[in-house]
Chains A and B, each alone.
Chain A
Amino acid sequence: DGGITQSPKYLFRKEGQNVTLSCEQNLNHDAMYWYRQDPGQGLRLIYYSQIVNDFQKGDIAEGYSVSREKKESFPLTVTSAQKNPTAFYLCASGVGGLGTGELFFGEGSRLTVL
């Protein structure tokens, strides 16, 4: 089945550790996105990528990093510089270009900092 796979679904981290969240898609989409979700705040954009080897900061990029070495993959690293990393992280992909903007989402990864 075509879709977006995020892993791990649950992750616990000690303060000061970097963690990497995986996102893989087999929809042949050019565009990929990372959102952060906190209760009552909706979804906030962390990073997005239009094509391989290119990505841009979203609204809350501080303390995060990404790479886009392959079309199918867009991993997110939560660094120790992120002051409040406990959240639900959602990866999405879309056609990009002249499409409608519709996004397809993975199941999410819940990160808890102990």
Chain B
Amino acid sequence: AQSVTQLGSHVSVSEGALVLLRCNYSSSVPPYLFWYVQYPNQGLQLLLKYTSAATLVKGINGFEAEFKKSETSFHLTKPSAHMSDAAEYFCAVRMNTGFQKLVFGTGTRLLVSP
């Protein structure tokens, strides 16, 4: 069955520093992978998605992620953190069943300090 693992429940960076949020997936077939962002008491917003086209995917707000099949990873990065990036980030994989469902990781809370 498909699953994702997010390493680190909390990540702290300084404003202007590189952001790296880790996600490893488990899938027996080429996966569809997603990164979502959630601000406090709000729903989830799609940052970017991998659908087996280009392995480097660019998303909103300057985020990008690289699909690495050999490492079964889909890490999220941003070159320079901004205070407004502080939020919770979820990695998700689409299950390859007869009906589409997403399986989510447990989330990583990004803290940005001035």
Give the nearest-CB partner of B105 in chain A. A42
**Contact yes or no, A42 B104, CB < 8 A:** yes
Does B68 sit at the interface, judged by CB under 8 A?
A: no
**Contact yes or no, B43 A94, CB < 8 A:** no
- Give the interface residue-count category, chain B: 20 to 34
Bound-state CA distance A6–B34 (Å) is 23
Q: Number of A-B pairs whose CB atoms are under 8 Å?
A: 62
Q: How far is the CB of B101 from chain A (nearest CB, A)?
A: 6
Give the nearest-CB partner of A9 in chain B. B41
Instruction: Name the residue among B44, B94, B104 with the largest chain A CB count within 10 angstroms.
Output: B44
Residues of A with C-beta under 8 A to B95: 101
Q: Given A105-B44, A107-B43, A108-B43, does the pair A99, B106 have CB atoms closer than 8 Å?
A: no
Q: Given A42-B90, A105-B45, does the pair A96, B99 have CB atoms closer than 8 Å?
A: yes
Q: How far is the CB of A86 from chain B (nearest CB, A)?
A: 15
Q: Quick check: which of A43-51, A65-73, A77-85 contacts chain B, the rest being far away?
A: A43-51
Q: Which among A94, A96, A103, A107 is the interface contact of B42 at CB below 8 angstroms?
A: A107
**Contact yes or no, A102 B106, CB < 8 A:** no
Q: Which of B97-114 contact A (CB under 8 A)?
A: 99-102, 104-107
**Contact yes or no, B44 A40, CB < 8 A:** no
**Contact yes or no, A100 B94, CB < 8 A:** yes
Q: Given A40-B9, A42-B105, A101-B32, does the pair A94, B41 have CB atoms closer than 8 Å?
A: no
Does A111 sit at the interface, judged by CB under 8 A?
A: no
Could you list 27 examples of A-B contacts with CB < 8 Å? A6-B43, A31-B99, A33-B101, A35-B104, A42-B104, A42-B105, A42-B106, A43-B104, A58-B101, A90-B43, A90-B44, A92-B44, A94-B100, A96-B100, A97-B100, A100-B32, A101-B32, A101-B94, A101-B100, A101-B102, A102-B34, A102-B46, A103-B46, A104-B46, A106-B43, A108-B42, A110-B41
Having A40-B106, A105-B36, A107-B42, one finds 20 other A-B pairs with CB under 8 Å, namely: A4-B43, A35-B104, A40-B9, A40-B107, A41-B106, A42-B105, A42-B106, A42-B107, A43-B44, A43-B90, A48-B99, A50-B99, A96-B100, A99-B100, A100-B94, A101-B100, A103-B46, A103-B102, A105-B44, A107-B43
